[in-house]
Amino acid sequence: MEQRKKRVLGNWKMNLTSHEVRQLAEGMKEMPLADGVEVGVFPGFPYISMVKELLPQIRVGAQNFYPQENGAFTGEVSVLQIKDLGATMVLIGHSERRAIFNEDHLFLKKKVDASLNAGIKPVFCCGEPFEIRNTGGELSFVKQQLEDSLFHLSKPNLMKSVIAYEPVWAIGTGLTATTEQAEEMHRSIRGWISEKYDEETANGISILYGGSCNASNAKELFACPNVDGGLIGGASLKADTFQAIVNSF
């Protein structure tokens, strides 16, 4: 059973051409890895194999997939195809997929199951928009996301997963949850896992923070007892900035 790890994962989103990907990877090639910290990146589909080849020392994942192994789904990429490219993890439930592409709880549940069936680690994203936070409903909102899409898993499969809390109001806005806000949510998530499963499971799963996490605030966020690292967006597009975040433990 996989144990709780410190992790820093970079989501490159829909950025970078092949030349820019190669430049960024070259900048990351000699990046010293902190002891006990797992580092990974999520490039765009076309560059997964390239990044895997250029950066064999870190994990490489996919940003998305369609939860069928094959079939008449023109324009989609299957879980087996991302695995074939070398992806060992995948983002599921990112707020942009929920909001822009209308991926609901049931669809995300199917993606969680498909990724685990293919042997790919799901990085399950959860988080509340500003209007929910503003009315004090963030805990019940996030708990529902987890219950509907993740907490159907067996204990061994949940332990193969990573959870990333990303307050939607803090993604790409420059706003960041305070350490108190981040710790409260991470502590709550761990508590819900303990209630649903057991304390061993709750203490074994990594819960990451995402939402304008950068080199300036990472150290403070990562010092929170229940924050095990970060899912980094824009700050992962520069090798030196990403390195500074990795070194923030």
Residues labelled as active-site residues: 94, 166
Do 25 and 51 form a contact (C-beta atoms < 8 A)? yes
Alpha helices, H only, the chain: 18-29, 48-54, 79-85, 95-101, 105-117, 130-134, 138-149, 155-159, 179-196, 199-204, 218-222, 239-246
Radius of gyration over every alpha carbon of the chain, rounded to an integer in angstroms: 17
Measure the CA–CA gap between 25 and 217, rounded to whole angstroms.
24
Q: What SS3 state is found at 83?
A: helix
